[in-house]
Amino acid sequence: MKLDGKKVIALGERDGVPGPAIAECVRSAGAEPIFVETECFV
Amino acid sequence: MDPENQDRIKSLVDEHGADVVVVLGAADLEALEVAAETLTVGDPAYVGSLAGVQLGLPVVHILEEDIKEQVDPEIYDEQVGLLEMTLDVDQVRRAAATFPGRT
Q: Mutate which of A7, A27, A40 to disrupt the B interface (most B C-beta within 10 Å)? A: A7
Rounded Cα distance between B50 and B55, Å, is: 8
Reported ipTM: 0.97
How much of chain B exceeds pLDDT 70, in percent?
99
Question: B80 and A25: CB-CB below 8 Å?
Answer: yes
SS3 content of chain A, % helix, strand, coil (to 5): 25, 35, 40
Question: B28 and A26: CB-CB below 8 Å?
Answer: no
Instruction: Give yes or no for a contact between B35 and B24, defined as CB atoms under 8 angstroms apart.
Output: yes
Mean pLDDT of B42-54: 95
The secondary structure of residue A14, as a DSSP letter, is T
Is residue A34 left, alpha or beta, with left meaning phi > 0 and alpha meaning psi from -120 to 50? alpha
Rounded Cα distance between B38 and B57, Å, is: 10
Sequence spans of domains, chain A: 7-39
Q: Evaluate the CA torsion angle B55, B69, A36, B90 in order and state its sign.
A: positive
> Chain B residues with CB inside 8 Å of A21's CB?
25, 62, 79-80, 83
Q: What is the pTM of this model?
A: 0.96
Residue B98's pLDDT is 95
Nearest to A25 among B26, B28, B75 (CB): B75
Q: Mean pLDDT over all residues of chain A?
A: 95
With 80 as the cut, is the pLDDT of residue B90 above it? yes
